Amino acid sequence: MRLADKLNGKKVLVTGVTGFVGEALLHRIIGELPGTTVVAIIRPKGSLKGTDRMAQLLKKDIFKPFYGEGTPYADAEALSAARVQVVEGDLADVPALPTDLDIVVHCAGDVSFDPPIHEAFTTNVLGTKSLLERIDESRQGSDRRIHYVHISTAYTAGRRRGAIPEAPVDHTVDWRTEAEAGMAMKARVEGMSRSSAMLAKFRKDSEKLHRRAGHLTAAADTERRRTEWVAKKLVETGTERARSLGWTDCYTFTKALGERVVEEFAGKLPTSIVRPAIIESAVQSPHPGWIEGFKMAEPLILAYGRGELPEFPASPDSVVEIIPVDHVVGAICAVMATEPELSKPEYYHVSSGARNPLTFEQLYAGVRAYFSQHPFDLGERGAVRLPVWKFPGGDSVESMLRYGERAHKIADHIITHVPRGERTRKYARELDVQKRRIDFLRRYMDLYSEYAQAELQFIDDNVLALHNALEGDDREKFWCDTSIVDWQHYLQEVHCPSVTDSLRRLDVVRKKRNKALAESAGTLKKVTPADDAEIIAAFDMDGTLLSSNVIETYLWMRLPELDSHQRYGEIGAMLRKLPKLIAAERKDRGTFLRTIYRRYEGADLEELNRIVDEVLAEHVLERLSGDAVRRIREHKAAGHRTILITGAVRPLTRPLRPLFDEIVAADLAVDDRGRCTGFLTGPPLVGESRAAWIKHRARGTNIDLSKSYAYADSHSDLPMLTTVGNPVAVSPDVSLFRAARAARWQIVDWKTPSTSSRLEIPGVNAR
């Protein structure tokens, strides 16, 4: 009998129907098994019910041939109503199941190689147990035999070598004990992360980067670091526990324990366990190259094509156990039509290495041949230069990677401590690209090195027997004999074109976006405010509008009123204190400013104002960036309120008053004689204080911060920039440059007029 006849009238429950294998299985059942009804467990997602998600699934291109003109079903909704019954729920809380099921295919599971340990147990072990209990419950009071088909992985064999039979995995690990320990690990790791020692480490690391921006910014980053540490630790714990017991990772470990759960229920339910190897794109059905999402090989193929995978820790003659998804689905359909005995589970390896092995050297040759003919284009730099793999071995690749990590760490420390500038940002950008590559290599080397160096041969006699038993045209519809696959044709004509197509289209979009960003970098972004709303444009001064810093501007202000002897003494004192001042500025900008402004003690405030008006004004305006002035005037022309927010003392802002509607600056406190005391009338507006001022200014008014602007050059101004909807990083330092790139903010370089000199001190050099 053909499979369509054997499975005619059967009701098949499928879990994981929205996943890669589940979707392909649904497609095959609807298309080739017309008398079979599908029951799908689908969990609601956000506001979408399970039925809505099924409707969305059936509107995908691969299902469109099954409905519309000339088909039995008018649209996706009609197809769903006729062929699919949706049960809302998930493996964390399996709902009651229909009582008339004939077959259950359990495709759902956590397929990540490095899941947090508690999540892996929740899905792959406890979720499987919950489903089996519901299946058993649905048949109570009847003699119905429900065939349970469990989709596992061939790599439940773990770190064994040699031939792996289609049989239970030989181990004595108690799944109940491991599940209890794994589920308890989340609370344990959370507790560890909240210890005083760990919290102190997270806080110090955050404050080292964010102290200048403010304590709350550092606190938010501290919590981010803690939660990331928890997630990383849960992954590491799962990996180490798996390897301590003989498995490659937490995924294969929990899938193996899930099989133990299934085997315990085999006395109640006829059971089949299907173990696919590495599932990749389709050879033929739904169409050649069909794939959903990135699987195991795709990130590596794409990285190689981009020239970012210099080596791989595999032996050239090791076998890559790749299996096209349509072969897996064909095998599942054939297994569904079998009738295993109670207490005697049947096992099926859906793999390729036993009869049609693909070695890493062949894989490399096929992928390289494809990219040699169809290279990625890097624009002005031309085609990507493809790496030449020598297969030096895992230890050599690991040494190379560690060297790259150390070198990057040193270079990154240097780049964050040298003076800012366009060249510095260029190096920082290149370092960031290298860091992404190194992180990519580290992640995939850690994940895949075990698979790349595995010496397993999965026996697939049972699957071959299934294929040979297929009758008529079923061998074309449900083929599961991988010996017919031409790997070089598959790699070069089917798989690589499929996995690179989406990235090539994304590259086109990215290039257009980057071009648009480059063209608009020097222009004011046009926004439309809400009715009666006001838009502000807040500007920092030092480093943003002017090529200056607090120490420079102090010397501008202070030296003209001193005699020559006092000037040399003041300059000498500042030079001696410069290292401490730089360290203080990196630690706390508010304290740094107060230290500088203490040196104004005894100065006459009116005299300072006179010096600015008569001596410094021209020099300040010469230092003012023409790009900055144009941008300020554009804001004024657009009806925006321009505000200067600076930690500089107010006298120094006097030349800029015509440009701004409002100036917020540091006010020097004076005694009853008008002499500066060395203190300020209030705390300087730096870091989070600027953000608080802007929020307070907007509170109770009609200012629309989501449409407003802020301009700054320093990482300390990160809180102010994040307060508005249109932040702009102006000639930023490395830390702000990286934050702006990550957030996709506008980044501009406002050049200082070349006529000004950093060594010129107005009112002094001319004498």
Q: Is the pTM of this model over 0.85?
A: no
Position 450 scores a pLDDT of 77
Position 531 scores a pLDDT of 66
Question: How far, in Å, are 131, 189, 694 from residue 13 at the CA level?
Answer: 11, 37, 58
**Residue with the larger pLDDT of the pair 755 and 591:** 591
Question: How far, in Å, are 294, 321, 350, 360, 647 from residue 355 at the CA level?
Answer: 26, 11, 11, 16, 74
Residues 366, 492 contacting (CB under 8 angstroms): yes
pLDDT tens, position by position, 494-547:
999 999 988 888 777 777 776 766 666 667 777 777 667 899 999 999 889 987
Q: Is the alpha carbon torsion for 16, 19, 24, 30 positive or negative?
A: positive
Cα angle value 243/244/246 (rounded, 5°)? 60
pLDDT tens, position by position, 716-733:
899 999 999 999 999 998
Please report the domains of the chain, with CATH numbers, ordered by start residue: 3-294+310-359+446-497 (3.40.50.720), 536-748 (3.40.50.1000)
Position 561 scores a pLDDT of 65
How far apart, in whole angstroms, are the C-alpha atoms of residue 347 and residue 462?
7
pLDDT tens, position by position, 188-212:
999 999 999 999 999 999 988 888 8
Which of 333-342, 407-416, 752-761 is predicted least confidently? 752-761
Can you tell me whether residue 147 is helix, strand or coil? strand
Q: Which residues contact 399 (CB under 8 A, 6 or more apart)?
A: none
- Mean pLDDT on 63-86: 91
Please report, to the nearest 10 degrees, the dihedral formed by the alpha carbons of residues 252, 257, 259, 260 taken in order.
Answer: 160
- Most distant CA atoms of the chain, gap in Å: 109
How far apart, in whole angstroms, are the C-alpha atoms of residue 608 and residue 610?
5
Position 767 scores a pLDDT of 43
How far apart, in whole angstroms, are the C-alpha atoms of residue 258 and residue 260?
5
DSSP category for residue 701: S
Which of 334-338, 426-430, 607-611 is predicted least confidently? 426-430
pLDDT tens, position by position, 254-281:
999 999 999 999 999 999 999 999 999 9
Which of 15-29, 301-315, 352-366 is predicted least confidently? 301-315
Position 197 scores a pLDDT of 96
Tally DSSP H helices, then E strands, for the chain.
28, 19
